[in-house]
Amino acid sequence: MLLFVAMVLLWELGAAWSWWSEGSLSRPTEVAPELVDLLGSAVFWEDLGRTVTEIVLSVAAGSLLGMIGGVVCWRLPVLGRVAEPYLASFYAVPLVLFYPVMIVVVGINQWSVVILAAAMAAIPMVLNTWAGLAAVPPVYLTLARSLDCSASQTFARLAFPAAAPYVFAGLKLGTVYALVGVVAMEFTTAAAGLGYRIRYLYESFDVPAMYAYIVVILVIAALVTAALAVGERFVPGSAAAARAAPRIERAARRGLIGLGSTLLLAAMLLAWQVASTLTFVIPGVDETWRALVDFFREPSNLVHLRVTAASSALAFLFGAAIGALAGLGLGLSARARLILEPTIIALNGLPKIVLYPVLLPIFMLSGSKVVMGALFALFPVLINVATGVRQVPPIHWALARSLRCSRWQTLRFVVLPGIRRPVLTGLRLAVSLAVVGVVLSEFFATRYGLGRLILHAYDVGSYPTMMAIIVLLVAGSLGISLLLWRVERGVR
């Protein structure tokens, strides 16, 4: 609370002392009356109702589908082992980039947002539900069989309660992903909702009202985070499960993964081709391939590709470096955790894209999207590094003290080797999130970039080109994520 008060005071004093232009960053004393006016505005309540409805529907649908998927992976181990690398990689793939495609198929309405946000929420639920069920001690299942328990009794009375901490951890992650996804999609292209209204007010130069809406989203994110923290207290072990990345230890054979991957890819391509025959707005696989080839033949497109790639790389490097250093500080200092951890958790659940209008006048077009991508990439590295430091076995710290190691030696020979896997997990997530931050920023405002090309293709009805660019972005993110996942699995 003191940190929040200090930030608001700094905000007010900075504007009063002309540290920045009040046209780009309004004072809190100007935003407060706008917040009061919002409470009497019918438009505000309509926007709030739209956004809250989308979040609730997304979390409910994603959680249900995710739990079913987790149970299926648990009950069918062969299927689970084949799907695991792709689930772990899709966890980091920028699914929000498919929003223009969803608009084309479903229309600019709440269902296009709900369907995609539900998919974003479902993936962490699948992984955590499966990990929780796989972590049930085999002796419990043997005991249930010896007591002649049916499959439904074993699941309802033994397996699921034992997996509840992991399931709740998945619910937390899914809720955050749904919240971020809903507001991000409203912000880029929508007809209603809090995210849409922020963009509309920015384009209308109504800066105080825009900041009032941003504050509302901050409050919603804080309330959701607080509600999940309260719920966590009623599920013993959920805090530890949330800090641990979901892991399924049984390895699959390489031949099995290769065969499963081939079949999975064939099924996806077949489903894509069938969907293209049902509606003209979804281009077929062959049509998309031709559009992708034509894309690379156009020199101007390569300029846009280089700009997005360079911006994403810079965003990843800055975000990962800052996140790693901050994570080390947070993990090593109990006092820093006490003061900063609640704020970091709340900021991690904030739809950061709504801050883009704030960054634009400060960093201009080219710099603001790099900063936005870095904000997206920062938090997974920070949280995973801090968690990894806290999970270093106490005996390792005691051994370092008994050998009278200096702080640098302790960091080099104890901390860094002990957090290799959490660091790789954070980097795997940060790569794709940096791309998401950059491309979403390019949706909003930029001269060059693939995000601009996607929206232009959508505006002119060039759906094969739009799909080709989205597939290029997602395939690149998925490939890097799969590579890092394999490296991560090899780290002990």
- So what's the pLDDT on residue 1? 56
The full DSSP string for 323-381 is: HHHHHHHHHH-HHHHHHHHHHHHHHHTS-GGGGHHHHHHHHHHHHHHHHHHHHHHHHHH
CB atoms within 10 A of CB 154: 18
- So what's the pLDDT on residue 422? 84
Helices 110-134, 99-106: crossing angle, 10 deg rounding: 120
Q: Which stretch of 21-25, 136-140, 176-180, 193-197 has the lowest confidence by average pLDDT?
A: 21-25
- Show the tokens assigned to 125: 């639920």
**What's the DSSP call for residue 149?**
-
pLDDT for residue 40 is more than 50: yes
Average per-residue pLDDT for the chain = 81
- Show the tokens assigned to 404: 């009278």
Is 296:353 a contact under the CB 8 Å cutoff?
no
pLDDT for residue 11 is more than 70: no
- So what's the pLDDT on residue 314? 94
CB atoms within 10 A of CB 231: 13
CA distances from 431 to 137, 147, 342, 367, 375 (A): 35, 49, 25, 18, 12
Mean pLDDT computed over 242-248: 53
pLDDT for residue 370 is more than 50: yes
Q: Which stretch of 1-10, 69-78, 219-228 has the lowest confidence by average pLDDT?
A: 1-10
pLDDT for residue 4 is more than 70: no
pLDDT for residue 58 is more than 90: yes
The per-residue pLDDT for range 79-118, each reduced to its tens digit, is 777 777 777 666 666 677 788 888 877 877 888 889 989 9
The per-residue pLDDT for range 107-140, each reduced to its tens digit, is 778 888 899 899 888 988 888 888 888 888 888 8
All domains in the chain, ordered by first residue: 22-261 (1.10.3720.10), 278-492 (1.10.3720.10)
- So what's the pLDDT on residue 251? 47
What is the percent of the chain where pLDDT is above 90? 12
